[in-house]
Amino acid sequence: MKGLHIIADLYGCRNRDLLASSAMLRETCVAACKAVGLTVLGDHFYQFEGLDATQVGGATGAVVFAESHLAIHTWPERDGATLDVYVCNVTSDNSAKAEQLYETLAGALQPGDVMVERVWRGRDLPLKKQRLAVVG
């Protein structure tokens, strides 16, 4: 369960179309997860309405993959987004995949400024083997 958790706030995003379209955001996120070699299990994205007729709404979404998850939230009225990438695995180090996914999505959003934190989660623990009871 060791893994890298990347938490980022993206400001001044220049790709306004991506900020305002849950369909485009979904397509970009799912494709990016697959491109870095993650096993996508499912996703859910939602489109918000704008606050009034002068604003477009943002989008929110999550992709669940066997190695953990991606969550993203956008605010086109503020040219911003938040990104949460957590990639773990009990048998191998997937931190490079987390970094690639983050770089791909940040590149797609084209932020002018980023605040990012990297948190290393978990620790080495012995793998417990359990005997299954025989049902008879």
Active site residues: 68, 73, 88
Concatenated DSSP letters for 38-65? --EEEEEEEEPPPSSTT----EEEEEEE
Residue 107: φ, ψ to 5°:
-60, -40
Residue for token pair 């959003």: 109
Cβ-based burial of 94 (10 A; exposed 0-12, middle 13-18, buried ≥19): buried
Q: Do the Cβ atoms of 62 and 43 come closer than 8 Å?
A: yes
Is there a contact between 19 and 28 (Cβ–Cβ < 8 Å)? no
User: Are the C-beta atoms of 5 and 118 separated by less than 8 Å?
Assistant: yes
